[in-house]
Amino acid sequence: MNRIYLVEDDPKIAELLREYLEKYDYHVQLATDFSAILEEFETIQPELVLLDINLPRYDGFYWCRKIRTISKCPIIFISARDSGMDQVMAIENGGDDYITKPFEFEVVLAKVKSLMRRVYGEYAVEQHANHIEHSGLILHIDAMEMEYNGMSVPLSKKEFLLLKEFMQNENHVLHRNHLLEILWDDQSFVDDNTLSVNVTRLRKRLEELSLVDAIQTVRGAGYKFVANWGVEA
């Protein structure tokens, strides 16, 4: 049974959502101490977190950052805040998805199932000594090439480094500064334009394999890799 940690300070909403999700074989643990969310997270060890923004003492953005220091556990924000900036902040602080209140229980369930499937199920990353696989896309580490549906495309060193980082952090926003550090080495100076050029080149390489829109731009933050070719519409 998949464990979900629900951090919601409205007891009525929390209980209704808990009852609904548990009908579908999820075990939902409600937050009890809103000043010790990180400690409860470590005790529960959930597979997914549902996190409100407006919380006592510290907001959800704060707790998301804290959780990200110790875990890549998927986090879905649920909030009455519906501005685009709040959704951008949720992503920048480490969130994976965002649901606005009032919400349909079915929407929450669908997003939980989708994220669980991507992180732990059939679309999850498989990493081996010499390759990384994600939804049928294989990155051959020794050969520095990627393969999909029997077709192979060679990669430059920088394209390879970017794709490796993206595949290991699927559906997480990778900030531009972080990616610049990945590309930089003692022999070559890397600036912001170099990053943009190499991301564009990598996108074109992926398009050669008919993998379109796999690398998404997150305005003001960086990029996110989404294996949307492996998800049914």
Q: Alpha-carbon distance 22 to 20, whole Å?
A: 6
Looking at residue 27, its pLDDT comes to 95
Domain membership of residue 160 as a residue range: 126-230
**Whether residues 53 and 91 fall in one domain:** yes
Query: Any idea what the Cα angle at residue 213 is, between residues 212 and 215, rounded to 5°?
Result: 120
Q: Model confidence over 170-191: pLDDT tens digits?
A: 888 898 888 888 887 544 556 7
Looking at residue 232, its pLDDT comes to 43
Asked which of 85, 105, 120 is the last residue of a domain, the reply is: 120
Instruction: Take residue 191 and report the two structure tokens written for it.
Output: 């600036």
Q: Is the pTM of this model over 0.85?
A: no
* Nearest in space to 78 (alpha carbons), one of 47, 108, 57: 108
**Whether residues 115 and 141 fall in one domain:** no
Residue spans of the chain under pLDDT 70 = 1, 121-129, 185-190, 230-233
Looking at residue 128, its pLDDT comes to 63
* CATH code assigned at 212: 1.10.10.10
Catalogue the E-assigned strands of 110-194.
126-127, 131-134, 137-140, 145-148, 151-154, 173-175
Looking at residue 114, its pLDDT comes to 83
Q: Alpha-carbon distance 200 to 44, whole Å?
A: 41
Query: What total number of domains does the chain contain?
Result: 2
**Whether residues 172 and 193 fall in one domain:** yes
**Whether residues 36 and 131 fall in one domain:** no
**Whether residues 100 and 144 fall in one domain:** no
Looking at residue 185, its pLDDT comes to 59
